[in-house]
A and B are shown apart, each in its own frame.
Chain A
Amino acid sequence: MERDIEQLNAALNAIKVLRSNVRSVFESVSNGLRADHGDEGKETKFIYELQELLTTVNNNLRDVENAVANLTPQAGPFSLGNTTYLSQETTQERQALYGQLVNSYKWTDKIREYSAVAGNILAANSFNKTYKTYSTAKRRKTTTSNHNVAPEVIENLISSIDRLFPDVTFTPNRPLVPNPIIQVSLGRVLKAIIAFKGLMIEWVVVKAHAESNDLWTESRYRVFKRITENCHAAMCHFHSPLMPELAVRSFMHWFHSYITLFSAPCKRCGNHLNSNLPPTWRDFRSLEPYHEECK
């Protein structure tokens, strides 16, 4: 018995090795010519590599065959022990087959559907196996970027701004970890959905509280559409590649001044309304409210 199990283990191991090496053959074939094959006689080098891999596979296959030959097949039926009674169990709750059946049915159904779609797409677009071009041109010098920052840095920045303004609520939401989308509620006045690219503000949409949190649809109200435009202008104005944190901070500071959107009259004309809109412009330095026409 002990010996049987040992042999079985050896056979399983041999299969594992075989599978792994077959995989590396395919990997090498699909990658095609690589940069490390050099320039001279790259084809021959590639063929040699392939040949070597195939020999290994051949050897592995022989090992598997040997291991299998060593196994002694069990005489007579397997004894399943208590599990044989499983088919006689009538209370379905205990074997929980029902839910699994439904799940696996749904799963295979989905697979069929996806594979049909994928098959169509693949048939329509034949592609090259090697799509990388290996130019010998120098790699572009890496520039220090504010796109590629650790998530913690952004996290810290957002929470530090959050502490700065008590009447502003930040709700972060991270579908893509390094590029968070945050929802900024300015009191009960408005909310903004801000998408970051690293430490850079990438997109801002301003909406009413009752509207959806979708990043792509604009507000249905004219006043918030106007503020969205102004936010885009401010986002470019405050952008500074060398001090990205400062840029975000000053943007937020400026944005916070909209808390008086409906209540503050225009600094120049002294009125609330101009062409039926409240003062939608805030000066970048003084943060004072102006109508678009008065600034």
Chain B
Amino acid sequence: MSLPGNAMDSLSAALKCNIIPNQEYLLQGSVLDQYVEVLLHRLRGLCDNVDSGPESFHDHEICFSLRIPNTAASTPMPMSIFSLRVRRALDVSDTPYQLRYIGQQELGDKNRPTVVRSSIDMACSSTILEFLTELGCRIEFEYIARGYMFRKGRMKITVSKIFKMGGNKPESVEPISQSYLVELSVLAPSGQDAIGEDMRIFAEQLRPLVQLEKIDYKRLGNIM
């Protein structure tokens, strides 16, 4: 029987072998409410989970951030910000909460077909909200997403409606727009850029119903 390895050692070994899926490849777009049915229908035909039909979800996402003023003068930003997202399912009880770190968008090559950003995704216990608050995080924003999830090989396609939180009751929410958010994403170990090409081809098949594009957050003036 072998000795149990130190957890940190095995993690760094896994990092070295590059088997941890810590890169997210992402394309985003939107579709108006009245055409969402057509899109869903097309996705049903294109995606893997054909016979079971689309998988629905109803999630509550809260974005937390840790921030401290930057003392080093050389850095361009006045604050160091570290944001973490917590997601929990509202429609299924007993599922673990999901904690997610999303890094800066990688600049890289302009010709890259998708947004690439680092991402650490993990399941966690329901104490996470209290844990983050105690850690010094504060709530940045929160929303409710309700929609459908499709799979195509490694790709994940979500079509969801985003709702503003209205008060404390989950029923009193209002949609933020007249359209649905469409996201095409893959979580993969770094360096697997070929997947970007697959995603571009898939996105091509959804035109002209929805234009999936790489969104530059900096241009949106968003502090992500």
Contacts and interface: CB of A to CB of B under 8 A. Distances in A.
Indicate whether A and B are direct neighbours in the complex (CB within 8 Å).
yes
Interface of A: 91-93, 98-99, 102-103, 106
A92 B50 CA distance: 15
B198 interface: no
A93 B51 contact: no
Contacts of B44: 98
A98 B41 contact: yes
B51 A106 contact: yes
Contacts of B41: 92-93, 98
B55 interface: no
B32 to A, nearest CB: 16
Interface in B15-52: 37-38, 41, 44-45, 50-51
A98 B53 CA distance: 11
A106 B41 CA distance: 19
Nearest to B44: A98
Nearest to A92: B41
B111 to A, nearest CB: 37
B49 to A, nearest CB: 11
Contacts of A93: 37, 41
B30 to A, nearest CB: 21
Dominant SS at the B interface?
Answer: helix
A93 B41 CA distance: 8
A102 B54 CA distance: 14
B50 A102 contact: yes
12 contacts: A91-B38, A92-B41, A93-B37, A93-B41, A98-B41, A98-B44, A98-B45, A99-B53, A102-B50, A102-B51, A103-B51, A106-B51
A102 B41 CA distance: 14
Contacts of B50: 102
Dominant SS at the A interface?
Answer: helix
Contacts of A102: 50-51
Given A98-B41, A98-B44, 10 more contacts: A91-B38, A92-B41, A93-B37, A93-B41, A98-B45, A99-B53, A102-B50, A102-B51, A103-B51, A106-B51
Contacts of B37: 93
B115 to A, nearest CB: 32
A238 B44 CA distance: 60
A98 B44 CA distance: 9
A243 B51 CA distance: 53
B83 to A, nearest CB: 37
Interface in B40-97: 41, 44-45, 50-51, 53
Name the residue in A98, A103, A106 with the highest tally of chain B Cβ atoms < 10 Å from its Cβ. A98
Contacts of B45: 98
Nearest to A99: B53
Contacts of B53: 99
B139 to A, nearest CB: 36
Contacts of B38: 91
A265 to B, nearest CB: 36
A93 B51 CA distance: 16
A102 B37 CA distance: 19
A91 B38 CA distance: 8
B144 to A, nearest CB: 26
Nearest to B50: A102
- Shortest 6 CB-CB distances between A and B: which pairs? A102-B51, A92-B41, A93-B37, A102-B50, A106-B51, A93-B41
Nearest to B41: A92
A42 to B, nearest CB: 55
A98 B45 CA distance: 9
Nearest to B38: A91
A98 B37 CA distance: 14
A102 B53 CA distance: 10
B55 to A, nearest CB: 15
A29 to B, nearest CB: 42
A102 B51 CA distance: 6
Nearest to B51: A102
A92 B53 CA distance: 15
Contacts of A103: 51
A110 to B, nearest CB: 12
Nearest to B52: A102
A254 B122 CA distance: 48
B209 to A, nearest CB: 13
A189 B51 CA distance: 43
A102 B45 CA distance: 11
